[in-house]
Amino acid sequence: MNKSLPKLAVPLPISLDPLKLSTEALGLVAGAKSAAEGLDRLLAAKLTEDAIRLVSHTLPKREAVWWCCMCARSVPAPIQEVVDLEALQAAEAWVRRPSEEARRACMTLAQKTKFNSPEIWAAVGAFWTGGSMGPESAPAIPVPEHFTGLAVHGGVMLASVRLRPENAMARLGRFLTSAQEIASGGAGVMAVEEA
């Protein structure tokens, strides 16, 4: 097991169904004692997309949202929509100081969009970390546990194909390095690509 990734030293989820891993990946992670061990097995087999899914769902929620933000920042849009930038800043603000107000601010911004950028999915990921999915005035609607992972995975994958989709696999490799840095307690900041 990779002991240098303490934030992935968690058991794999009881049900791996929400992760939507490939059949090959499911076989490889079976019996892994932790998400870090599962990640090591996937990386050794060069199952990059499955590794992205695993990390999206097993990093702690704050770290997962931060990772999505770092991926979005590393591949900026040539023309950044104001609401996308605001959503990214809101997600980062929630990571730095989680609160119900900050969580709801993320979804307020996301709802002004078509949900088509990694920045927006970082904000949705923050909103889906807990609390209620419904309006504040309505009875609580609990957020399913795996929703943050779904949002983060979507955002990371959108960042990987932005502008030059042919660079997606190389980007995913960089993104996994960033995730490992975050899982070891670092910031996961990546160099920003030229537009």
Task: Render each residue's pLDDT in the chain as its tens digit; 195 residues.
Answer: 455 899 999 999 988 999 999 999 999 999 999 999 999 999 999 999 999 999 999 999 999 999 999 999 999 999 999 999 999 999 999 999 999 999 999 999 999 999 999 999 999 999 999 999 999 999 999 999 999 999 999 999 999 999 999 999 999 999 999 999 999 999 999 999 986
pLDDT value at residue 113: 95
Per the domain annotation, does 186 fall within a domain?
no
Q: Copy the structure tokens of residue 101.
A: 């107000």
pLDDT value at residue 14: 85
Per the domain annotation, does 119 fall within a domain?
yes
Per the domain annotation, does 1 fall within a domain?
no
Per the domain annotation, does 32 fall within a domain?
no
Residue type, 191: A
Q: How many CA within 13 A on the CB side of residue 16?
A: 22
Alpha helices in the chain (DSSP H): 23-29, 35-44, 48-58, 61-74, 82-96, 100-110, 118-127, 147-161, 168-183
pLDDT value at residue 4: 83
Per the domain annotation, does 83 fall within a domain?
yes
Instruction: Domain count for the chain, please give it.
Output: 1
φ and ψ of 140, to 5 deg: -60, 135
The CA distance from 88 to 38, in Å, is 29
The CA distance from 21 to 44, in Å, is 16
The CA distance from 188 to 156, in Å, is 13
Q: Copy the structure tokens of residue 61.
A: 């929620």
Per the domain annotation, does 39 fall within a domain?
no
The CA distance from 150 to 3, in Å, is 26
The CA distance from 136 to 45, in Å, is 45
Per the domain annotation, does 67 fall within a domain?
yes
Per the domain annotation, does 13 fall within a domain?
no
pLDDT value at residue 81: 94
Determine the structural domain holding residue 102 and report its residue range. 61-163
